[in-house]
Amino acid sequence: MTTTFDNIWPLADKAEGWCSEGQARALWHLASAVNSPGTIVEIGSYRARSLQILASAAAQGVDVVAIDPHGGNDRGPQQWTGTAEEGNEDSERFWANLTAAGLTDRISHIRSRSQAAHDDVGNVDFLYIDGAHGFGPARDDLVRWGAKVNDGGSMAVHDCFSSVGVTLALMTTTFVSGRWRFVGRERSLAWFERADLAPRQRVTNALRQATSLPWFATNLVRKALIATRISKADWPY
């Protein structure tokens, strides 16, 4: 039976994580657009919620590589530091969720920080970045992993305009570089096409991304209210 988004989403939705249904649909479309032979890389897989979507959408002959140290740090909202035990539990849940979905043979996992895994992967057709959220590592993923994306390829980034580190990393890369045409956004998931933009297109491209900055400002206020326990709303992602 051919897997469809509607088949896999109920399974993926059982895995813990911060990928909404709308974001998963966008990832499905981006991953299914990769021609065989090709390569999809996910940086930051946690418990394989979004990875189940990527692996199910990928055509036969498309390699799906998941990079995550499962080290217990930078796991999700308000979880910057953690323990090795938490990381090991994430690893166990990662494999259990892939096994339940019958997808263990469909992916390869590199248990490492993305910044140390460069030489383990060649060129990429679709890059999904959802790893470390601080400015330095997020920018490093955008620049150094982004440089591996083939012409005609694409890149999606989670926690855009919700995480301060990721948003500042975008403002110093995709806003200004001319290498990435902004295509769309579903909440904090933004996606881009690999491009070589002319100067005027670069200005338009930056302005189109900047239209999300008021939403970013709203998210900062929301987060402050949640962190100070004034609000019990869900963390914005």
Ligand X SMILES: C[S@@+](CC[C@H](N)C(=O)[O-])C[C@H]1O[C@@H](n2cnc3c(N)ncnc32)[C@H](O)[C@@H]1O
Binding site for ligand X (CB under 6 A): 17-19, 43-46, 49-50, 67-71, 73-76, 90, 113-115, 130-132, 137
Task: State the minimum distance, in angstroms, from the CB of residue 11 to ligand X.
Answer: 13
Choose between 16 and 233: whose C-beta lies nearer to ligand X: 16
Q: Please, are residues 219 and 162 in contact by the beta-carbon 8 Å criterion? A: yes
Choose between 31 and 132: whose C-beta lies nearer to ligand X: 132
Task: State the minimum distance, in angstroms, from the CB of residue 208 to ligand X.
Answer: 25
HSE toward the beta carbon, residue 89, CA cutoff 13 A? 10
Quick count: other Cβ atoms within 10 Å of Cβ 150? 16
Choose between 32 and 115: whose C-beta lies nearer to ligand X: 115
Task: State the minimum distance, in angstroms, from the CB of residue 67 to ligand X.
Answer: 5
Task: State the minimum distance, in angstroms, from the CB of residue 42 to ligand X.
Answer: 6
Query: What is the C-alpha to C-alpha distance for residues 16 and 77, in angstroms, rounded to an integer?
Result: 13
Strand order in the sheet with 62-67: 108-110, 62-67, 38-43, 124-129, 149-157, 189-194, 180-186
Choose between 89 and 193: whose C-beta lies nearer to ligand X: 89
Choose between 63 and 74: whose C-beta lies nearer to ligand X: 74
Task: State the minimum distance, in angstroms, from the CB of residue 206 to ligand X.
Answer: 26
